[in-house]
Structure 1
Amino acid sequence: MVDAADPAAVAAFWSAALGEREQRRLLRFRAQQGPKTVKNRVHLDVGVGADDRAVERLLALGARVLADHLPDWLTLADVEGNEFCAFPRRPPGSDSPARVFAVCTDSDRPEELAAWWAARVGARIGPGPDQTPRWLHDCPGWGEVIWKFVRVDDVRTGPNRWRWSLTTPVEALLAAGAARLPDGTLLDPQGNQFSVGFSAGA
């Protein structure tokens, strides 16, 4: 779920970037609860291919460059300033400019959070680039998309604008250490908001 000032505009950007089918599979948009003020703590990594025009296709859709780390990657922003990373060395979608290959979540204790979520969703834990166990593989419903927990030292200053959803009994999540706010919002042990679909026992 993605908070947006103009959900239709952000959905249109990501539909054009990823292809409508992939956008609908991975992303949903809703009217924001408050304006974006800081860097998102959840973002996508996308492959765009090695063609010279690969990034230009995203820029033509309304993306802009925030930081140049080439030849490895570029940090871009979508039409509402949501950060994402584009990797020229990874193939794009068959017809679309980009393909999601990872969801990244910031954490000052990424190994701990990766282990908690692996147990909740039944994912396999693998090493990140520093060889610590903080990348999740085989997340149900995500196909080959990797869930990366990225080490940061900045302090959380507000709710996540991008959050994930799962179908799991709520009571099981609460028993494992999740919290529920008075408005029903669920938080993982490090304060990340997430959504839960209704299921037996929820």
Structure 2
Amino acid sequence: MLARMSDATARWKGLVLDAADTDVAMGFWGPVLGLTGEHTGGPDGVMRGGASERTVWVNAVPEPKTVKNRVHLDLVADDIDAYVRLGARVAPGYAAAQEWSVLQDPEGNEFCVFPPGPARPSAIVVDSPRPEEIAAWWADVLGAEASAAPDGTRRWLTHVDGLPWDTWKFVGVDDPKVVKNRWHWDVTAPALEPLLERGASVVRAQDDEIRWHVLADPDGNEFCVFLP
């Protein structure tokens, strides 16, 4: 039985990656995601493909990656060789030969590769100490379905309007969130108040420097909201 769908209060807009070197990030993730990268002025960049939802913004940040990503991408591919040639490496502590491979991009961001199949991105993945609850929260916000993962828990989102990948997965972890996520997502919304009423919090309000609002979900995951 499918989870109940609600009226959406927001819609997926795009993905954002923080990078110490945006040229390196776009040089790796552009070919991996089938997108073309360009600078938007200064060091920041954007990677685009066919549909607008496949846009990935790359923001230059001064801080390096210091801890395991709480947000990462899952890819499907027959092997990891193409990613290694682009500069990826097997993540320390993970064997290359297992059900899936855990790799790191040139700046250390983890991602998973699942065989077999033609190379493509398949999911966005978020670590959470309460994956079913936060999956239900985002399902309510986006009008999506909280579907059963292989373990039977409803922590995978499907039918996410605008999401350019198959699934949005929430995975249970014990470690707390300690730094800003290197990957985050943008949404569009007709108003900010319904998100706040559902439990989101304001990290940074729109001001003279930014034309969007930065919020955090109940797990502390940052996301940007673009209003009309």
SS in 1 for 2:25: helix
5+ residue gaps, structure 1? 93-98
Superposition pairs for residues 68-83 of structure 1, below 5 Å? 68=95, 70-83=97-110
The aligned counterpart of 1:85 is: 112
The aligned counterpart of 2:153 is: 132
SS in 1 for 2:80: helix
- 1:4–1:32 contact (8 Å) kept in structure 2: yes
Q: What is the count of residue pairs matched by the alignment? A: 189
TM-score when normalising by structure 2: 0.78
One-letter amino acid matched to 1:112 = E
The aligned counterpart of 1:44 is: 73
1:55 aligns with 2:77: no
Query: C-alpha separation between the residues in 2 aligned to 1:69 and 1:18?
Result: 21
One-letter amino acid matched to 2:169 = K
- The answer to which of 110-119 and 26-35 deviates more is 26-35
How far 1:144 moved relative to its partner? 4.3
The aligned counterpart of 1:162 is: 183
- 1:46–1:86 contact (8 Å) kept in structure 2: yes
Query: C-alpha separation between the residues in 2 aligned to 1:33 and 1:180?
Result: 23
How far 1:90 moved relative to its partner? 3.4
How far 1:18 moved relative to its partner? 2.1
Query: What RMSD in Å do the two structures reach over aligned CA positions?
Result: 1.8
Query: C-alpha separation between the residues in 1 aligned to 2:18 and 2:74?
Result: 18
How far 1:70 moved relative to its partner? 3.2
How far 1:109 moved relative to its partner? 0.2
1:173 aligns with 2:195: yes
One-letter amino acid matched to 1:56 = D
1:32 aligns with 2:54: no
- 1:110–1:150 contact (8 Å) kept in structure 2: yes
One-letter amino acid matched to 1:100 = P
How far 1:182 moved relative to its partner? 4.3
- 1:3–1:33 contact (8 Å) kept in structure 2: no
- 2:186–2:225 contact (8 Å) kept in structure 1: yes
- The answer to which of 76-85 and 62-71 deviates more is 62-71
1:64 aligns with 2:86: no
Moved over 6 A (4+): none
How far 1:73 moved relative to its partner? 0.6
How far 1:145 moved relative to its partner? 2.2
TM-score when normalising by structure 1: 0.87
SS in 1 for 2:180: coil
Deviation track 1:9-51 (CA, whole Å, cap 9, x = no partner) reads: 10121111221269521421001252211001000000012xx
SS in 1 for 2:157: strand
- Whichever structure has more strand as a proportion of its residues is 2
1:111 aligns with 2:132: yes
